Amino acid sequence: MGGCEALIIGGSAGSLEVLLKVLPVLNVEITFPIIIVIHRKHGTDSLLPDLLSSRTKLRVKEVDEKEPISAGTIYIAPSDYHLLIERDKTFSLDYSEKINYSRPSIDVTFQTGAEVYKDKLTCILLSGSNSDGVNGLKSVKVWGGTAVIQSLESAQVAYMPAQAKLHVAIDEELSIEKIGDFINSLK
């Protein structure tokens, strides 16, 4: 594994609970951005950034269009927009059709992130009930990045990480308790 220049975490049903357990253990000296893409209903959890920032000393914010990506910040994909990572390391929001019944699509962020960060990208796929994220992890591996899934035993809804395990050469499968330590070990 090369150095980590960006971490993207994707998840759906059951993933918020994981984030609420992982964020409190993260080092505040993290040297890369953490980008979170979780499926949520449009307009219902505008409180998500506040909820997550109450669990960490790291800066947490919802992504703005054309915003430069900064180390040490936790970014949250806005509901109902695909989140793309541009070659100049800024974000782009897209309202095109849903992918895997989802907008934001984890696949879109994983794929665009892989093209930009290549072998310096780590992606973690958490609990969820559809296969969003699987094709994105395939791209991550093609570009030399690191693909991680939540352990099937610890996932509230194991379908998403199970599909990834079936179709992608996964680098790590981690329990909820190990995810924070893994993130802290990334340099």
Catalytic residue among 15, 39, 105, 139: 39
Which secondary-structure segment (H or E) carries 184?
helix 176-185
132 noted as active-site residue: yes
CATH of 6-185 given 1.10.1740.10, 3.30.470.10, 3.40.50.180, 3.40.50.300: 3.40.50.180
pLDDT at 85 over 50: yes
Catalytic residue among 15, 82, 127, 132: 132
Could you give the count of Cα atoms lying within 13 Å of 174 in the half-sphere of its Cβ?
Answer: 19
Q: Which two tokens stand for residue 91?
A: 């974000």
pLDDT value of position 41 = 73
Confidence of residue 1 (pLDDT cuts 50, 70, 90): very low
88 noted as active-site residue: no
39 noted as active-site residue: yes
What's the rounded Cα separation, in Å, for the pair 92 and 81? Answer: 9
* Residue at 180: amino acid letter: G
What's the rounded Cα separation, in Å, for the pair 107 and 105? Answer: 5
pLDDT value of position 3 = 87
Does the pTM surpass 0.95? The reply is yes
For the segment 75-98, the average pLDDT, to the nearest whole number, is 96
